[in-house]
Amino acid sequence: MRAVPAVPETTAAWVVERPAPIASAPLRYVRRALSEPGPEELLLRVRACGVCRTDLHLAEGDLTPRKARCTPGHEVVGEVAAAGSAVQDFRVGDRVGAAWLAGTCGRCRYCRTRRENLCPDSRYTGWDIHGGFADHLVVDARFAYRLPEGWPDEDAAPLLCAGIIGYRALQRADLPPGGRLGIYGFGASAHLTAQLAMARGAEVHVVTRSPEAQRLALELGAASAGAGAPPRALDAAILFAPAGSLVPTALEALDRGGTLAIAGIHLTTIPSLDYARHLFQDRTVRSVTANTREDGRAFLAEAARRRPSVRITPYPMRRADEALTDLAAGRITGVAVLVT
């Protein structure tokens, strides 16, 4: 083992004690044991961690827990505090990003064909391993990212899920050059994805009930923003809101040959679809299942060039439960970020 600073035995962290509605306080702030990094791992001292709706789904039990008393958080900006003996790309003191995809088998047919997001043995930060709602976490160095220079920690954190997943959803939506894109829901990922699409030349129409989100969308350059149907037929759409009831609505707004990408890991029940109104004329529905590391690297490189505006609401790490409560209540415009 390479000489490294001493690893603390414990860390302050939030854990999901028992999944339940966020109003019933399912999270606890505790000290938990901290393991020494293995040969391929990094110990990170957390500097900032974005708050994702997936963290809320985990806390409330919409996603079945995979690890007892797991620490949420998968948009982590950290500083390398220790590195395993086999780590070549990072050293102590480097600023590193840790994202949702935490590990894959590397051997299955999906991994071998550049579709590692579909690996049956994939693992996820804040679901299978402890995440970034903590002072420290241990991550696989092979799944960590170098971050663009010049970004403050709190602005860089949302890029690691909201940005990456939005990037993949935009790719899956198959938007033609200069096309019209509909975005349903306008939270953390959507406000970054809209800017990416507009920078590529798209005309963006946002559908959201929130007046604050509507104002933000227009401020960022959206062609329209409102609670009703877009004013023009769409070439593609992305559903960010976890509401299955919006699937028929979004499909009906598509022009011939349009594609709807559903970006969330959780979605409520989709109502019955009418073939002629919703699917006929080559309309397509696609889900988005995590991301690949290739997606992550490509998005971070594009973000470094385009510099999207990141609208954050900062919270101290000790108020992570409050951040999730505000997210559930729709009181956050943009993205909440925990800072240490």
- The SS3 assignment for 302 reads helix
How sure is the predictor about 3, in pLDDT bands with cuts at 50, 70 and 90? very low
For residue 292, the SS3 value is coil
Backbone angles phi, psi at 322, to 5 degrees: -65, -40
* pLDDT value of position 8: 86
**The predicted structure's pLDDT at residue 154:** 97
CB atoms under 10 Å from CB of 126, counted, come to 29
Neighbours of 243 (CB within 10 A): 16
* Percent of the chain topping pLDDT 70: 98
**DSSP labels for 79-141?**
EEEEE-TT--S--TT-EEEE-SEEE--S-SHHHHTT-GGG-TT-EEBTTTB--SSBSEEEEEG
What pLDDT band is residue 4 in, cutting at 50, 70 and 90?
A: very low
Q: Using an 8 Å Cβ cutoff, are 47 and 132 in contact?
A: no
Cα three-residue angle 289-191-144, rounded to 5 degrees: 50
- Render pLDDT for 292-330 as a digit per residue (tens, 0 to 9): 999 999 999 999 999 999 999 999 999 999 999 999 999
Quote the percentage of the chain above a pLDDT of 90: 95
Query: Which of the four pLDDT bands, split at 50, 70 and 90, describes residue 5?
Result: low
Give the model confidence (pLDDT) of 159-174 as tens digits. 999 999 999 999 999 9
CA distance linking residue 226 with residue 207, whole number of Å: 5
What is the mean pLDDT of the segment spanning 83-92? 96
H or E element, residue 56: helix 53-60
Separation CA 291–CA 287 (nearest Å): 12
Give the total residue count for the chain.
340
Using pLDDT thresholds of 50, 70 and 90, give the confidence band for residue 111. Answer: very high
Sign of CA dihedral 210, 216, 220, 221: positive
| Spatial distance between the Cα atoms of 199 and 212, rounded to a whole number of angstroms | 22
Q: Which residue do the tokens 């827990």 mark?
A: 65
The letter for the amino acid at 309 is: S
The Cα-based distances of 74 to 124, 278, 338 in angstroms read 8, 35, 11
Tell me the mean pLDDT in the region 207-235. Answer: 97
- Whether 115 and 288 have beta carbons less than 8 Å apart is answered as no
Least confident piece of the model among 4-8, 38-42, 126-130, 139-143 = 4-8
Q: What average pLDDT does the segment 58-79 reach?
A: 96
**DSSP class of residue 279?**
I
Closest to 191 measured CA to CA, from 238, 134, 128: 238
* pLDDT tier, 7 (very low <50, low <70, confident <90, very high otherwise): confident
Please say whether the beta carbons of 209 and 189 come within 8 A.
Answer: no
Q: Which of 13, 2, 98, 95 has the alpha carbon at shortest distance from 50? A: 98
Q: What domains does the chain contain, in order, with CATH numbers? A: 10-158+310-339 (3.90.180.10), 164-287 (3.40.50.720)
Distance CA 244, CA 261 (A): 12
Strands 312-316 and 335-339 come out as parallel
pLDDT > 50? residue 2: no
Which residues, including other chains, have CB under 8 Å from residue 316's CB and lie 6 or more apart? 338, 339, 340
